[in-house]
A and B are shown apart, each in its own frame.
Chain A
Amino acid sequence: MTGMVGGTVLLAVLSGAVRSSTPYLFVSLGECLTEKSGRTNLGQEGILVLGAMVGYAGSYETGSAWAGVLLAGFAGSALGALHALCCQLRRVNDVAVGIALILLGTGLAFLFGKPFIQPSAPMLSALSLGWWAVDPSIRAALRVNELFLVGIGVAVAMHLFFLRTRWGLIVRTVGGNAEAARALGYSVNGVRLAATTAGAFLSGMGGSFLSLFYPGSWTESLSNGQGLIAVALVIFARWQPLRCLWAALMFGGAEAIGPALQAIGLSEVYYVVAAAPYVLTLIIMAISCAPGRRAAGAPGELKIA
């Protein structure tokens, strides 16, 4: 019996990881790219929510879910570019701009999202990788969305980009030591603008996953802080794209623990278990930001690390 319960919860957590990790993955990869260039963009939450709304609206208006995903990316990158441009002004703090961006992004999404709460937009489809399984819950767990696979591809590509390419090296130089980059003749602001904009494109795409696949609807309470958690997740991943993948899967799984335990009748501790993703974030922050400890792997120009 214990084994069966354990198996059920394990399956729920694993399938939850596959279902819920994609927004974490995209936002953390976007933030990873931004932070590697030496800036923190806390506005990812606003970009995520705007991406969710634009993705849904775009899919509804064009009739193609993938067009919605692209439009969500562009909406995200517009906010990202705004962040980068504001931060170029003298004595502007990137963290403060990020917080303003959270409010701007969610505000725009709520304002323009009103007419799209009711209609049903075309959704992203899923690949049924569990066709071989007899158990319907395994089959349901293996309904994987293409965007998740795209995310894995982006993580690998970004890993190679930083490690193997000249452009990756330039981004790392700008993020590690802006003076050195300037001395080498690179435009620090230009690189940061490009990195933040491209990063926000990914975050916007992550938002469209929320509205176009899972949970799969546009409502104003769609994100419960996933964008902010993803920023913390980058620190946990030590600014390495491949680690972002594992960290995102872990947070996705943590979201599934609460409902999974209640579904098998272990409901006594639901408030505690429901807090799992947030507790996990706190633990990570406590470990990685203890006084006197500089987070290993942090870009040198980053202010909050």
Chain B
Amino acid sequence: MIHLLMYIPAMAALLLVFTPGATKKYLAIAGTLLAFIVNLLLWQQGGADTTTAPWVPTLGITYSVGLDGVSLLLTLVTSFMSLLCVLYAAFNVERPGPMLANVLLMESGLLGIFASRDLILFYIFFEATLIPALVMLAIYGGPRRVQALTKFAVYTIIGSLFMLLSMIGVKYYSGAASFALADLLAKPLDPKVQTWLLLGFVAAFSVKLPMFPLHGWLPEFHEENHNSGVPDVMGTLYKVGGYGVFRFALPLFPDASEELRIVLMALAAFTTLYAAWIAFQQVNWKRLLAYAGLSHMGLVALGVFSMNEIATTGALYLLAFQGVYMGALFLAVGMVNSRTGSVGTHFGGLMDDAPVLSGLTMTLWFAAIAVPGLAGFIGEFSVMLGAYQVSPWLAFLAGLSVIAAGAYALTAYQKTYWETKPQGTTLLKDISGLEGLILVSAVVVSLVYGIYSSPAIALIRPTVDRLLQGLGG
């Protein structure tokens, strides 16, 4: 079943190549829908135990996959958002064929990332998400995409190679028989070598997380992507750095993580503030969202690096649900763009013509800036609460970003939606049924998990507890 989940989208993508134009979109929708249903069934069964099969025995690479609570939650979010993306792209993008294929490929890669329990397998899926991202940017990107693309590729690949070096190092120094996580955990590493190996992992994950100073690729990547926002949603989804740190870096290098905890937390806290500050100055919705996402990711990093159970739970909660509301916001920007032809924040007066769209967008923004009752609040509050127990000052510093978030989000929102409409513009259409369905379902998810968080917490908590016990913390 788990294999089915991982490869349904990829197979659908392959089939897309051979299907004629008009049926492409239905095939893509069917693929993502099927994956989502399989995922729900897996949820009902309580995930999947780790299964391990030798893949390249001579090199010690195994095909080891499993879904525990945290992975399950993240795969659910991934397949849900992919479904929304495909729905939106199928009917709102011109020539959607290649984009749909890439979204499907990326979904497979992401599901693979969350399911892998082998370092090399994880690396392969980690890199596999890169190719569709690059292709989407190349085909559908804006005028300055070459620069954005190069920056993005160079940053991520350099980071990943450091991780690869660390992976080879982990197996070599631990003397484990394979790259399977279970094998590696059975043979703890000497604390002396842990530090530089951890730094290799952190370098890779900080690029994708992203974290200051390795976030340089992010704003341009989002700005140059296709205006529909579909590639951006997939882009926000593969911010798998936080998950990678949680799943691999902390358990493998417990001593080094302990030692570097404060430094990494400080970096994370700085990232949140720094990004919020820059977000405040943006006049382009996509850049604004990029920096807002960066700020949230700083909080995720703060939570994960704090190695405190409440903070870590909160960080994973935030990681999962920011995929939903930030993703939906990117799609909302796409919807605004398809009406006004711009992604600038200066437009004004949207509320008059498109009240439903504006209202839904506002709700999503409220979720993003952690208004109580919406999903963002639970995550951010738990991160703060837990981080405070580790370092009150850093928690305070990061807490300022929550205030800043209110400031940048509301300023920009006010300009686009409330200020008077420029004269001479035509009446804009309000939201269509499909667009409404997409935004409403994202709002519903944010609302439900903002009020009734225990199903998600119940998924995350056991995994976090098990991990932190392993660290002795």
Q: Do A and B come from one complex?
A: no
Which residues of B are in contact with A by a Cβ distance under 8 Å?
A: none
